[in-house]
Amino acid sequence: MDKLHLYDKILSPLVTEKTTNLSEQNKIVFKVPATANKKNLKTNIEKIFKVNVTKINIINKQNRTKLTRGKKVKVSGFKKAIITLKKGQSIDLTTGV
């Protein structure tokens, strides 16, 4: 499989305070396309980062509207995947791929 196709299933890592706390439990959070599924994500992450994935949870964030400066603004939803790695393994997101 071509490297380009492996990266199609991972859009970007999500780096927030909550995801940073999850990294202590060997969990990494990625933003993924709406067509991504657990089986494809597992094989792609194992090939790209050379780690063992034990579990994947996928969360679908819905579209919502929020009030900004008195106007309603539509915030688009996205899909995110929480990847649990084997104990002792980690992915360094600061180095880039």
Contact 27, 7 (CB under 8 A): no
pLDDT grade for 1, boundaries at 50, 70 and 90: low
Quote the pLDDT of residue 96.
58
Q: What are phi and psi of 5, to 5 degrees?
A: -70, -30
How confident is the model over 28-52, as a mean pLDDT? 92
Quote the pLDDT of residue 5.
77
Q: Angle at CA 18, nearest 5°, toward 29 and 76?
A: 65
Q: Is the pLDDT of residue 97 over 60?
A: no
The CATH class of 3-85 is alpha beta
Quote the pLDDT of residue 78.
93
Q: The tokens of 18 are what?
A: 């909550």
